[in-house]
Structure 1
Amino acid sequence: MTAPTKAGKRIGILTSGGDCAGLNAVIRAVVHRATGYGWQVLGIKEGTQGLLQRPVQYQTLDLGSVDGHMMRQGGTILGTTNRGDPFAYPMPDGTLKDRSDEIIGGYRELGLDALIGIGGDGSFAILHKLAQKGGFPMVGVPKTIDNDLGKTEVSVGYDTAVAVAVEALDRLQPTAASHHRVMVLEVMGRDAGHIALAAGIAGGADVILIPEIPYSIESIAAKIQDVRNTGRNFALVVVSEAVKTLEGTGVKKVLQGGEKRYGGIGDYIGEKIADATGAETRVTVLGHVQRGSMPSPRDRLIASAFGVHAVDLIAEGKFNRMVAWSNRGVIDVPITEAIEHYSCVELDGALVKTARGLNISFGD
């Protein structure tokens, strides 16, 4: 396959890491803004995997391919991957191989003038390293439902993930009340409790468990008893997937290929609550439901603003930077700072104070 030719800049765009809602809105915004500059956009398929293939796997993106319907779609039209570090790529024989030169070669083969990578901290670390080694310009757009990237108040996908979790609590509440149950909802978030905290407040939870705050079953049981004392016959508990057991270990499941991922702390907490309180307890694990939804209006807005600004950075010759959201506007920061500054829940932050003011228990 021969890369198409056209006057003006040619920029590539790829999505990397786990999927989330709002990715297509970023792609759409990039195409619109780049077209306004008279540039061509090539969408690289399956993240960096597309650059490893020969011929390179890509598609030309123009205004005809990024209509309003696309902005409403979850996931990514380009595909993505969160496996296969190109600097230590797993081969069929079990060995690891440095295939970074192949990816750089794929970039060169497309004749790109710059690359826009939509990803999280892991993806950015790899893309930045590739850009430095290959000497090509790169701009990053932050996306992660975990909202744990540094130097930005919000990342694409987070708002939708919270909305899905809140909707789950809205649906669990009436069935909890009907059966006098304690409902435990396990949500994603990797090592940060942002989703659990925001959803718990907005969804009227009684207990929010996040990895940043140690808990005890006695404190949780006391809170549930306080709820009973008010005359209410049910309780809602939200737990982030990275919360540890009382012994201090994370609960993980082994996936195909031996990969370990968080999952199962909800069942652990549910059993502990049932034993301590005698309450009939049910557990719901949202899992990837939080990733696949139609993006919320805020995610579409953030994604669109990020996409436009990313293209403007290329026009200004400002590279190795990540677009970010701060003080109700779009800024850009060095991508290395975004990678280095992990954003966990601030214990003295506004949302923790709000939750405590609403008499929500953190189990501490």
Structure 2
Amino acid sequence: MAIKRIGILTSGGDCAGLNSIIRAVYAHAKGHFGWEVIGIHNGTAGLLARPVEATALDERVAGSDMLRQGGTILGTTNKGDPFAFLQEDGSHIDRSGEVIEGFRLLGLDALIGIGGDGSLDILRRLAIQGGFQLVAIPKTIDNDLGATELSIGFETAVQTATSALDHLQPTAASHSRVMVLEVMGRDAGHIALSAGIAGGADVILIPEIRYSFAAIEKKLADLRKGGRNFALVIVAEAVRTENGQSITSVHGGGATAMQTYGGIGHYIGTELAKRSGAETRVTVLGHVQRGGTPEPKDRVLGSAFGVHAVDLIAEGKFDRMVAWNSRRVIDVPIVDAIKGAATVDPHGTLVKTARGLGISFGD
């Protein structure tokens, strides 16, 4: 099939490094193959709109400023599953046919979809139902997509969390406090684990390892016995209470309300203060981890992923996701990448490293 016109969209939560992908896709598709590249706005929501919300990309996206720009110039959405689209009255309807029609109205020969497990699952189902060609690129700060060692956005999120620990340590020491830092991690504790090691945390709490306050208190007591007057605790948002309950909060209202993780940091801080008598302070990074200037690794990875995705289209290889493995870009079936979350291995290298450094996981 002769390729002349391809589309690209970003879906799910935003992160640093997305614009480097868009830049690479345009530069390679236009410069090497002469294809037209259509940027679809706001993920599948852009394909639902009439007229379809999309723009033909031009040389403005090929500039180096795109590498430095956070977020996504195309916009994105993590709401509105087209197979079960939420209505104002709380009911759900199937609008997948409208999305597929939107794809056809654009006259696209193939689509590059950038997203996490949920977004890529939806896009794949749409591609199968609509009979259009799809290539996927992994994007999630949680780094929990299977079949790839790294996803776009993870390195910048880890740097942000590490920087937060760097800033919290001096004030913790100055005031003899226990500083609790809550970071993102919906299904996995990769951000907390990597940042905890890099930022010198004393306690790392992740959803993959069950903790007890008794064990955390013992770690704090050991630090005091060793002459330390402060401690740093980093906790992933998906960590549960000691008795196994999840802590969530609701954002927005009405049909657009969303329930997300959040609040475990304050729970840990409050309980530690009550149980140990320590003076605690809690910092919740939240969406700070998604924004900001992309780290070099996310820029390089995004560029490599974008070029490889275009090559897959040129080679007629579809229903595949680009991935990073052993210092090179590979591609794998999308279904293999989204079939299960890649959580932290409690017996893996980084957990062993942390334990070897004397970091406690509260177990």
Query: TM-score normalised to the size of structure 1?
Result: 0.97
The residue number in structure 2 matching 1:343 is 342
Of stretches 241-250 and 199-208 in structure 1, the one that deviates more from structure 2 is 241-250
1:82-118 residue CA offsets vs partner (Å, 9 max, x unmatched): 0001011112333211111111111101100000000
Structure 1 residues not aligned, in runs of 5+: 1-6
The residue number in structure 1 matching 2:228 is 232
1:126-163 residue CA offsets vs partner (Å, 9 max, x unmatched): 00000000000000000000000000001000000000
Query: How far is 1:310 from its partner?
Result: 0.3
Query: How far is 1:8 from its partner?
Result: 5.3
Q: How many residues align?
A: 358
The residue number in structure 1 matching 2:243 is 247
**Are residues 1:150 and 2:146 paired?**
yes
The residue number in structure 2 matching 1:260 is 259
The residue number in structure 1 matching 2:6 is 11
The residue number in structure 2 matching 1:196 is 192
Of stretches 339-348 and 316-325 in structure 1, the one that deviates more from structure 2 is 339-348
Contact 1:165 1:199 (C-alpha < 8 Å) held by counterparts: yes
- Amino acid aligned to 2:276: T
The residue number in structure 1 matching 2:126 is 130
Contact 1:22 1:74 (C-alpha < 8 Å) held by counterparts: yes
For 2:88 and 2:215, locate their aligned partners in 1 and report how far apart those are by CA, in whole Å. 50
Query: How far is 1:275 from its partner?
Result: 1.5
For 2:359 and 2:286, locate their aligned partners in 1 and report how far apart those are by CA, in whole Å. 24
The residue number in structure 1 matching 2:66 is 70
Tell me the secondary structure at the aligned position of residue 361 of structure 1: coil
Of stretches 125-134 and 227-236 in structure 1, the one that deviates more from structure 2 is 227-236
The residue number in structure 2 matching 1:305 is 304
Contact 1:151 1:341 (C-alpha < 8 Å) held by counterparts: no
Query: How far is 1:294 from its partner?
Result: 0.7
Tell me the secondary structure at the aligned position of residue 224 of structure 2: helix
Contact 1:8 1:38 (C-alpha < 8 Å) held by counterparts: no
Contact 2:113 2:135 (C-alpha < 8 Å) held by counterparts: yes
For 1:158 and 1:349, locate their aligned partners in 2 and report how far apart those are by CA, in whole Å. 18
- Give matches, 1:56-67, under 5 Å: 56-67=52-63
Query: How far is 1:232 from its partner?
Result: 1.2
For 2:266 and 2:88, locate their aligned partners in 1 and report how far apart those are by CA, in whole Å. 36
**Are residues 1:334 and 2:336 paired?**
no
**Are residues 1:160 and 2:156 paired?**
yes
Structure 2 residues not aligned, in runs of 5+: none
| Over 4 Å off, 4+ runs | none
- Choose from 192, 210, 216 the match for 1:214: 210
Tell me the secondary structure at the aligned position of residue 307 of structure 1: helix
**Are residues 1:324 and 2:323 paired?**
yes
**Are residues 1:288 and 2:287 paired?**
yes
Of stretches 214-223 and 95-104 in structure 1, the one that deviates more from structure 2 is 95-104
Query: TM-score normalised to the size of structure 2?
Result: 0.97
Tell me the secondary structure at the aligned position of residue 115 of structure 1: strand
For 1:304 and 1:348, locate their aligned partners in 2 and report how far apart those are by CA, in whole Å. 32
For 2:347 and 2:277, locate their aligned partners in 1 and report how far apart those are by CA, in whole Å. 34
The residue number in structure 2 matching 1:94 is 90
Tell me the secondary structure at the aligned position of residue 165 of structure 1: helix
Contact 2:5 2:37 (C-alpha < 8 Å) held by counterparts: yes
The residue number in structure 1 matching 2:179 is 183
Contact 1:8 1:40 (C-alpha < 8 Å) held by counterparts: no
For 2:46 and 2:123, locate their aligned partners in 1 and report how far apart those are by CA, in whole Å. 14
The residue number in structure 2 matching 1:120 is 116
Contact 2:3 2:35 (C-alpha < 8 Å) held by counterparts: yes
The residue number in structure 2 matching 1:315 is 314
For 2:207 and 2:223, locate their aligned partners in 1 and report how far apart those are by CA, in whole Å. 24
The residue number in structure 2 matching 1:34 is 29
For 2:210 and 2:332, locate their aligned partners in 1 and report how far apart those are by CA, in whole Å. 33
1:60-92 residue CA offsets vs partner (Å, 9 max, x unmatched): 112233311111111000000000010111123
- The Cα RMSD (Å) is 1.0
Query: How far is 1:229 from its partner?
Result: 1.1
